[in-house]
Amino acid sequence: MRGSHAIFDFYQAEQAKLEHTDRLKASLEKVFSEATFVIEKDMYHQFEPHGVTASLISKNCQLSIHTWPEHHSFTVDFYSSLDKLEMLKFCEIIKTEFSAQEYDMRIIRSESELGLATTHKKDMELYTDENGTVS
């Protein structure tokens, strides 16, 4: 998948949506639906007494989230085929769904910033010996 990788940190969010798997799952399904992404796989882990870590995969993106309901905050690690403007819109969808008052967005990698972001076999051969061992 070509695209961008970003991390979103959300603050002052609605605590009830961050505490338990069922509420978080319902909210993330709304976010994906509004972004016109279809969830193909998802996984949730409930922490005690509260807090959730989840991963969702679609053809358009991969999203991981970890919540800290006691601090009304959560972090989203997001990799997608979206450009920066579309990614910002996606971030706003999340912010609205979780009633977050603030967020930070960090673009880790963007296809447009990297230019051609492919590794060629020829390049890999520079770092391997005749047995294929990487050095």
Residue 133 located in a structural domain? no
Q: What is the pLDDT of residue 127?
A: 43
CATH number for the domain spanning 101: value is 3.60.90.10
> What is the chain's mean pLDDT, rounded?
83
Averaged pLDDT, 80-101: 90
Residue 8 located in a structural domain? yes
Q: What is the pLDDT of residue 110?
A: 59
Residue 17 located in a structural domain? yes
Give the domain extent around 77.
Answer: 4-125
Give the DSSP letter string of the chain.
--SEEEEEEEES--THHHHSHHHHHHHHHHHHHHTT----EEEEEE-SSS-EEEEEE-SSEEEEEEEEGGGTEEEEEEEES--HHHHHHHHHHHHHHTT-SEEEEEEEEEHHHHSS----HHHHHTTB-TT--B-
Q: What is the pLDDT of residue 77?
A: 96
**Residue 115 predicted with pLDDT over 60:** no
Residue 135 located in a structural domain? no
Residue 25 located in a structural domain? yes
pLDDT in tens, 28-86: 999 999 999 999 999 999 999 999 999 999 998 999 999 999 999 999 999 988 877 88
**Residue 133 predicted with pLDDT over 70:** no
Q: What is the pLDDT of residue 2?
A: 62
pLDDT in tens, 53-64: 999 999 989 999
Residue 130 located in a structural domain? no
Residue 91 located in a structural domain? yes
Domain count, the chain: 1
Cβ neighbours of residue 92 under 8 Å, at least 6 residues apart? none
Residue 134 located in a structural domain? no
**Residue 24 predicted with pLDDT over 50:** yes
